Structure 1
Amino acid sequence: MNNKLTIAAWLLSSFIATSNLANAHNNTDKYDDPKRYNIAEMGAVGDSKTLNTVAIQAVIDKCAKNGGGTVVIPKGIFLSGSIFIKQGVNIEMLEGSVLKGSTDIKDYPKSSTRIEGHFEEWPSALINADKITHLRITGKGVLDGSGQPFWKEFYSKRSADPKTTNLSVPRPRLALIQNCKDVKIDGIAFTNSGFWNLHLYRCSNLTVNNCRFVAPDGKVPDDHAPSSDGIDVDSSQDITISNSFFSVGDDDIALKGSKGPFAMQDKDSPPVERIYIHDCVFEAGGGIMTCGSEATLVRDVKIERCITRKPVVMRLKLRPDTPQQYENISISDITMENGSAIFNVAPWSQYFDLKGQAPPTSIVRNIKISNIKGSCASLGKIVGNPGATTFGDISLSNVNVTAKNTTFDRDDFKGLVFENVVVNGIAMPTPEPTAKAVK
């Protein structure tokens, strides 16, 4: 009898101990799970009419104050002005959710911000993040910039005054991520941005995956969205862009830095380095990858397994007022579906200002483009600023395309090599320098 009681007691104590361990484990799991804050349950209204800037910001602030977590944007159209993410706060956009930007520029407060290679007072973006580590912006939702009124204002002013520049008409970006590390942006659709879609300034270890960048989205009558760059990688390092779709009214992916004759002295503009772009589709825009319109040091760029249906494969803008160095760029396995050109390397003189200085020099070297197939307008051109641009090794290999134009405009420099390049069924040797370059 005593033995039975002893065994029963032992079994009971073991059960209690096991239960306590399980409860402790479950409590730990719950503690580790990030807290979730649904904006619709905390005052925001997804009716596309109610301005939710204050309500959404209050949720972000509460989440941060309570130690961080995830701010959830549920199904609905939530109208908002600028919101500012804080450390520890992630954003998740559920399927059917839309964060829709206000069309009133006053809802985007101005501050000193990085824009076109310098700082000036400019409207904040719809989503803003500064000095944040381990940021996540994920889901299946849409960021809608409501860009049409901003586009119309720009074109109206430029029509009245042809000297109107991009910065003459303040317009909000969709997202500005700056001074951030360990960032993942996944699944988000960026549409109809009033200005740039996604601006990355001084970021590192950041990935953009499975996103869409579209402006205009085809639902509005405007056929062009000015300055609607897809992604601007500005003075950033270790950036990966993958499995994404681009159809915009300006550069698809632009690698940016500073500008002007003193650009190399700009401590706010470290080099753009270690950029990896792969498995993306480029429907419309200026180029798969563009260096400029303001850029200084760009190096160690790898692009592979992409499709272009119009944009240039590689576009290098050579400013006559800026010392530039573009090097170690590798592009491979590109399919051109009625694409534009493979190369567009040429002077870019829009809005340049030497500030009384002598024209600086620029260097383009160690460029390798290979495994290109499909149809295009032409192979393009490689032309520098006269007397100021030095070209190093540039190679084009394993190409089989049909082209509407077989001419290739190039400067006279050593190092250009065409290897196994077939155009319209005919092997194309390394082109001789164009007549104007020889003179």
Structure 2
Amino acid sequence: MKLNLSSLLATLSVLMLTGTNATYAESVAKSKPFSASAADKRYNIAEKGAVGDGKTLNTKTIQSIIDECAQNGGGTMVIPKGVFISGSLFLKPGVNIEIQQDAVLKGSTNINDYEKLNTRIEGHFEPWRAALINGDKVDHLRITGPGTLDGSGEPFYKLFYDTRNAVKGTKNLDVERPRLTLIQNSKDVKISGVKFLNSGFWNLHIYRCQNVTVENCRFVAPSGAVPNRGPSSDGIDVDSSQDITISGCFFSLGDDCIALKGSKGPFAMQDKDSPPVERVLIKDCIFEAGGGIVTFGSEATLVRDVEVKRCITRGPTILRLKLRPDTPQQYENIRMSDITMENGGVVFKVSPWTQYFDLKGQEPPKALVRNIKISNVRGTGGSFGEIWGHERAEIVDIYVKNMDVQLKTTDFKLGNVKDLKFKNVRVNGKKMSAPLAQAAN
């Protein structure tokens, strides 16, 4: 019997699929192998039956176009001018997306239009709702703008706040809300020029991916006071991924702008589903509103080799490290340079994070934060903020160099920190030396 290598590879890929349903896996198996010539094919969804009237639910039509594109060897699905309503869509290898000018792929407000499946969320897997766009093992994926992915978040925000007010102890995942995009288990991914708007939950979730570029995108969700804020509306969540570049992007959100994530709990270091977050470059971005330029956690274990440069913050914290007393954590090799504060917030927010704390009967684990350098910071802000950890957190080797800022207050909450150094730091026109560490609160 003659063995068809392409068929064999397709079958093996189905056997390895996780976090998707059987129908999705079976349809991937039927897809023809990706070919360079097929990549030039374009599939305009309006020409193939999708209706961009802002009313018609197009989930089945658009999914069939994705399936057709994959079965024909790949190509680009084009979303033209119009507002196309849809529930969960599942990309396949070789299928790219182009969202044209004045085009909107808008998420349905009916949660049942988002398939419930075993998915990665907040550092673990559980049955939860799929995103609007889902990609698993989609190497070389390209999603390009300048159009919009709109999560129709307002009714999901309202449901969350109403539930939280009515049911004491409501947690994030108790109220199902769809993410805008989940890309997982993929290499060589580029997302360029897309506007992410009003996601019901996280905007762009990147899980177990390598060599991902997100460039010239906008991430926007309500950032006012509760209830006029998008809960859990993170911009980009880099989860257990390596070699990630985020450049030229704009963030104005109700939660973290960029969050680096992994696992949580006392056994997190043994979690094989959560390799370290490594080699993340963030450059030339503007942070209008949100929790922080870059936040480590709240679910995170090993995060290392992170560089942020040539960025502007108009409120978000420059460096936010969440230290969970129930999780072994190691954050190291962090470089931030050429940061401009335009009526910004604080420089540091390094502190314990006890939301949903659970030691599972174990002894409190240790945490280590080391080798942080922040240099060339200019502008106006609130204060230096705070650096302190829980009882088993070691924080060492923080170097602040070439800073000239106007701050509303020189207050600086400093706890159990070793080797904090200042060089050429001026605050409100006066030279400032590194304060001495104090006893942890």
The answer to whether 1:271 aligns with 2:276 is yes
Identity %: 66
Distance apart, 1:414 and its partner CA: 2.6
Describe the shift of the 1:32–1:126 C-alpha distance in structure 2 as closer, same or farther (beyond 3 A).
closer
Match of 1:308 in 2: 313
Misfit runs of 4+, over 6 Å: none
Aligned residues: 405
CA pair 165-159 structure 1, distance change in 2 beyond 3 A:
same
Instruction: Determine which of 409, 414, 421 is the counterpart of 1:410.
Output: 414
Q: Distance in 1 between matches of 2:157 and 2:173?
A: 13
**Aligned mates of 2:386, 2:281 — CA distance in 1:** 24
Question: Contact conserved, 2:323 with 2:350, CA < 8 A, in 1?
Answer: yes
Code of the aligned partner of 1:82: S
Cα contact 1:372–1:401 (8 A) shared by 2 = yes
Counterpart selection for 1:97 from 103, 121, 135: 103
- Report the CA distance between 1:128 and its aligned residue: 0.3
Q: Which residue of 1 aligns with 2:40?
A: 34
Q: Is the 8 A contact 2:293 2:318 kept in 1?
A: yes
Match of 2:357 among 323, 342, 352: 352
Asked whether 1:175 is paired with 2:181, we answer: yes
Q: Which runs of 5+ in 1 are unaligned?
A: 1-29
User: Does structure 2 retain, via aligned residues, the 8 Å contact 1:191–1:217?
Assistant: no
Match of 1:87 among 90, 93, 110: 93
Aligned residue number for residue 369 of structure 1: 374
Question: Which string of whole-angstrom CA distances, capped at 9 and with x for unpartnered residues, describes residues 203-262 of structure 1?
Answer: 0000000000000299xx962000000000000000000000000100000000000000
Aligned to 1:255: 260
AA aligned opposite 2:262: G
Mapped pair 1:383 → 2:388 = yes
Aligned to 2:3: none
> What is the Cα deviation at residue 61 of structure 1?
0.3
- Matching residue of 1:423: 427
SS of corresponding position for 1:338: coil
Q: Does 1:212 align with 2:242?
A: no
1:44 aligns to 2:68 (yes or no): no
The equivalent residue for 1:332 is 337
Cα-to-partner distance string for 1:359-416 (whole Å, 9 max, x where unaligned):
0000000000010011111011110102x01112111110011111101111244311
Once the two structures are superposed, what CA deviation does each residue of 1:73-107 show, in whole Å capped at 9, x if it has no partner?
Answer: 00000000000110010000110100000000000
| C-alpha distance in 2 between matches for 1:279 and 1:197 | 20
* Equivalent residue letter for 1:100: K
Counterpart residue number, 2:240: 235
* Distance in 2 (alpha carbons) for counterparts of 1:429 and 1:162: 46
Q: 1: CA distance between counterparts of 2:260 and 2:145?
A: 26
2:129 counterpart of 1:113: no
Query: Does residue 74 of structure 1 match 2:104?
Result: no
Q: Which amino acid aligns with 2:75?
A: G
TM-score, normalised to structure 1, is: 0.90
Assess if the C-alpha contact under 8 Å between 1:241 and 1:276 holds in 2: yes
Whose Rg is larger? 1
Q: 2:209 aligns with which of 183, 186, 203?
A: 203
Residue 400 (1) aligns with residue 397 (2): no
2:29 corresponds to which residue? none
| Corresponding residue number in structure 2 for 1:151 | 157
Relative to structure 1, is the Cα distance of residues 352 and 412 closer, same or farther in structure 2, using a 3 angstrom cutoff? Answer: closer
Secondary structure of the structure 2 residue equivalent to 1:332: strand
The residue that corresponds to 1:224 in the other structure is 229
Structure 1 position 32, deviation (Å):
6.9
Q: Return the alpha-carbon distance in structure 2 between the equivalents of residues 95 and 54 of structure 1.
A: 23
Answer yes or no: is the 8 Å Cα contact 1:173–1:198 preserved in 2: yes
Distance in 2 between residues matched to 1:33 and 1:57, nearest whole Å: 18
Q: Specify the code of the residue in structure 2 equivalent to 1:96.
A: D
Looking at structure 1, the residues matched to 211 and 416 of structure 2 have their Cα atoms a distance apart, in angstroms, of 39
Alignment of 1:133-148 (within 5 A): 133-148=139-154
Query: Which residue of structure 2 aligns with residue 9 of structure 1?
Result: none
